[in-house]
Amino acid sequence: MSVFGSRPRYQVFLEQLKACRTQQKVPQTSLADRLDSTQSVVSKIERGERRVDPVELVEILRALDTDPAAFMTELTRRLDQSGKHAAAKPAITAVPAGKRLRRSRASQR
């Protein structure tokens, strides 16, 4: 398993993506043909060896006749249910335009 696939939250995503394909009984080779790709690429995606960007995800889901919005709703439900989503901390905090971040006095020492 790769670095991506070993992350618990990403693993939930991978399981759901693979389930979309297997529930419809679509072999990796057929999905690859629909995506104009190779079976190896599909396999690497499902194993977490190749990360999927949002555009690719939409293409994969459409090739599987799966509504992307419904997929994301279900993924969010599964992440919330597993408790992994709540434990995650955002890596970046949004700052409104025009505002500057101020250092705390402790960090200035």
Domains, the chain: 8-78 (1.10.260.40)
Residues 57-106: pLDDT tens digits? 999 999 999 999 999 999 999 999 887 444 444 444 444 555 554 555 55
Across all residues in the chain, what is the average pLDDT? 82
More confident residue, 38 or 105: 38
Residue 41 predicted with pLDDT over 50:
yes
* 3 burial level (CB within 10 Å; 0-12, 13-18, 19+): exposed
Angle at 19 between CA 57 and CA 33, to 5 degrees: 55
pLDDT of 83: 75
Q: Residue type at 48? A: G
The answer, as to whether pTM is greater than 0.95, is no
Residue 42 predicted with pLDDT over 50:
yes
| Integer Cα distance of 39 and 79 in angstroms | 28
